[in-house]
Amino acid sequence: MDPLHPLNLDDFSDLIVRPDGGVRRDAEELRERLTVRPGALGRLDELGEWLSAAQSRVRVRPVAQPKVVVFAGDHGVAALGVSGRPAGTAHVLVRSLLDGESPLAVLARSMDVPVRVVDAGLDCDPELLPESVTRHRVRRGSGRIDVEDALTPEETEAAVRLGMAIADEEADSGTDLVVLGDLSVGGTTPAATLIAALCGTDASVVTGRGGAGIDDLAWMRKCAAVRDALRRARPVLGDQLALLGAVGGADLAATTGFLLQAAVRRLPVVLDGVVGAACGLVAQRAAFRAPDWWLAGQVSGEPAQAKALDRMALNPLLDQGVLVGEGTGALLALPLVRAAAALAAELPERPEPTTPDAAASVGAV
């Protein structure tokens, strides 16, 4: 998209095509001829066929250059006590990740997968983190969505364009699959608001306890914040950019831009928790084909995530009760995706029967 012209997310609808349906049908036909009977590998068959369509080739290439991309930010609504962590402390989580001490860092190291952290809206002095992380920051923290917009229109467009640029950089560098994560304090509140607004449901139905965990009193405060933010969201439901500016945040807007541009670039993405699901739902509203390029990595336990994934027809790969966020649960799904790719690429076809007896014996297996 031309950076000199105003951004219109609806334009993505014309730019995004579905993964190659013809190649997927060819992959399904090949699967019928492999030595292991169809269905014996469960969802790995489905994953392999999805990868075939995404790569536009029947015999799948290995997932050789995956990367974890994490968008980070702070949210003003955290000041209401809706999170298990103090407001404005997401940079501490980022520091733990960069120092190799967080669950995501440990898993990424064990799998030899690089991690990229993008500061879209952290509320900290830039000097506390490496310049490579903070140089993209759109603003310091996002507004308190129950009473004010999260972003100005200019900041919203800048954040979405940031996500688009990161997607282009990853596609151009040879990344062949992205595990998408998020790091924030207060981020599940705007995520729940976006999902409630787009699914037409009430605050209590979508409000969970977040990755940090909150008590009943904090949950009630969070419900109230989502309720008040919903009132501000409904008048702008027809405009995805305005919606992200009103009740999203810099990190959510950047994530939405990333998801849309990754689909344009035919770069598969594995979603993690409720924040990624909320951004995916906004992206789907702009371009209905976009979710065909994504996998749902895990069930996060957040009720809003379940509603969003159902709306996008995405079936999570794992349900291990992982609540820590960052992209941890989605990264745990990566070995399954790699296994599906290896099986789709390497399983041999059954030999053609040469005699009636041989044909009978093959059919009996």
Q: DSSP class of residue 313?
A: T
pLDDT of res. 260: 98
Categorise residue 219: left if φ over 0, alpha if ψ from -120 to 50, beta otherwise: alpha
pLDDT tens figures, 330-356: 999 999 999 999 999 999 888 877 665
Residue 188, classified by CB atoms within 10 Å of its CB into exposed (0-12), middle (13-18) or buried (19+), is buried
CB 121 within 8 A of CB 251: yes
pLDDT for position 212:
61
Does the pLDDT value for residue 151 go beyond 90? yes
Residue positions counted in the chain: 365
Q: What is the pLDDT of residue 112?
A: 97
Query: What is the per-residue pLDDT for 365?
Result: 42
Share of the chain above pLDDT 70, in %: 94
Segment 60-84, tens digit of pLDDT: 999 999 999 999 999 999 999 998 8
- Of 165-179, 213-227, 331-345, the range with the lowest mean pLDDT is 213-227
> Is the Cβ–Cβ distance between 268 and 287 less than 8 Å?
no
Are 282 and 311 a contacting pair, CB within 8 Å?
no
The Cα 352–Cα 63 span in angstroms is 30
CA distances from 180 to 233, 281, 296 (A): 25, 15, 10
Mean pLDDT, residues 4-22: 90
Do 168 and 257 contact (CB within 8 A), yes or no? Answer: no
Task: Give me the phi and psi of 318, to 5 degrees please.
Answer: -130, 155
32 φψ region: left (φ > 0), alpha (ψ -120 to 50), beta (else) = alpha
133-147, 184-198, 212-226: segment of lowest average pLDDT: 212-226
Q: Tell me the mean pLDDT in the region 221-240.
A: 95
Amino acid present at 281 = L
Angle at Cα 156 formed by Cα 152 and Cα 160, nearest 5°? 170
Contact status, residue 293 vs residue 106, Cβ threshold 8 Å = no
pLDDT at position 1:
66
pTM, entire model? 0.93
By CB neighbour count within 10 A (0-12 exposed, 13-18 middle, 19+ buried), where does 86 fall?
exposed
Angle at 318 between CA 96 and CA 267, to 5 degrees: 75
Q: Stretch 143-163: mean pLDDT, rounded? A: 97
* Domains defined for the chain, CATH in brackets: 9-61+343-364 (1.10.1610.10), 66-335 (3.40.50.10210)
Q: Which residues are catalytic?
A: 326
Residue 168 confidence (pLDDT) above 50: yes
